[in-house]
Amino acid sequence: MSNVLRIILQRLALGLLTLFVVSVVIFAAVNLLPGDFAQVILGQGATPQAVESIRRDLGLDQPVVLRYFDWLGGALTGDLGTSFAQANFASFVGEGAARGTTVMQQIAPRFANTMFLAGVTALIAVPFAVGLGILAALYRNTAFDKGANVFALTSISSPEFFLAYVLILFLAVLNPILPSLSNIYAGMGLGERLERTLLPALTLTLVVTAHMMRMTRAAIINLLASPYIEMARLKGMSPMRVIVKHALPNALAPIINVIAINLAYLITGVVVVEVVFVYPGIGQLFVDSVKIRDIPVVQACCLIFAAAYILLNLVADILSILSNPRLRHPK
């Protein structure tokens, strides 16, 4: 087995182990939330018999360990259970098990919306951040470099909701260019969908650009003093060509890592932005489900967030390994 393949398999095994540990933490944390879902549904005046009937129908009367392995087994087969909030609770009078909308039916369209938002943001943020980082490295210590760093520090220091409200003020209220609410629905045309997604996408772009820009700038500047860069300059190459052709390919590993981490954030950290813009994504669904204690949906959202973050970090590790010539071509 080659050295690269062995390292990749080790990373995959570590990722699976991490996801298993995270699933245990998620299940335990969600089940430690105060209150009783059955009591919330029926109200304070419910009889103990009715509450116990709903708990039995939903499996809440089972031991925690048994419920965890039932949930994990279902998750491995794509069955994340039935939404408590959408269940038919007529069953508590003895008419059979509660049925309703499955968690996958609720999450699938919301997750697709979140992925669309993340994709639009990535298409804007990645080229913009990498390009800004290259220019900042090319014109380092100039007014442009200082301005780019001030912009990066300002955006990275501002909370998402503040940036969102500032953009709403300037682009939706004072200058009604874009809609302030992202009320997306099924069957909407691509153009209208992009228009209603653009404002939250710009907010997320401001949030993630700083990390990628500063890492690109730092990685390239660290390589500019290398002997092969000096040789390229002595051959008469232009500064931009030296950076793009010689420095950037050798700076890919740290840049890929920071891009992957920020792409993971676009999926796992969109909760605040989706709530501000009322964007119908998985983050908004997560917040709504926490409010009504819809435990299966909360658990599924947390698991998807964790899986996306772990998967993108694994991709970053693997791409960093493949971009390292010393690992690809060991002596």
Out of 57-61, 195-199, 208-212, pick the least confident.
57-61
Are the CB atoms for 233 and 224 separated by under 8 Å?
no
Domain spans of the chain, in order of start: 106-328
Distances (CA, A) of 8 to 12, 15, 18, 95, 127: 6, 10, 15, 52, 28
pLDDT digit string, tens, across residues 96-108: 444 567 888 888 8
Question: In the block, which residue shows the tokens 């969600």?
Answer: 30
- The rounded Cα 56 to chain-centroid distance in angstroms is 35
Question: In the block, which residue shows the tokens 């639009």?
Answer: 120
Beta-carbon count within 10 A of 129 CB: 26
pLDDT digit string, tens, across residues 293-307: 788 888 899 899 889
Buried b / exposed e over 239-274, threshold 16 CB at 10 Å, is eeebbeebbbebbbbbbbbbbbbbbbbbbbbbbbbb
**Average pLDDT value for residue range 162-183:** 88
Superfamily in which the 106-328 domain is placed by CATH: MetI-like (1.10.3720.10)
- The rounded Cα 6 to chain-centroid distance in angstroms is 28
Distance between CA atoms of residues 196 and 161, nearest Å: 17
pLDDT of residue 87: 60
225, pLDDT greater than 60:
yes
pLDDT digit string, tens, across residues 229-268: 888 888 888 888 888 887 877 777 788 888 888 888 888 7
pTM beyond 0.85: the answer is no
Instruction: Assign 11 a pLDDT band (cuts: 50, 70, 90).
Output: confident
Distance between CA atoms of residues 58 and 51, nearest Å: 11
**Average pLDDT value for residue range 311-315:** 86
> Which residues have C-beta within 8 Å of that of residue 60, sequence separation ≥ 6?
37, 38, 54, 67
Average pLDDT, the chain: 82
Distance between CA atoms of residues 287 and 114, nearest Å: 14
pLDDT digit string, tens, across residues 117-170: 999 999 999 999 999 998 888 888 899 989 988 988 888 888 888 988 999 999
HSE, side-chain direction, 13 A CA sphere, residue 265: 22
DSSP code, position 86 = E
Beta-carbon count within 10 A of 286 CB: 24
**Average pLDDT value for residue range 215-223:** 86
Q: Which tokens sit at 316?
A: 């970053």
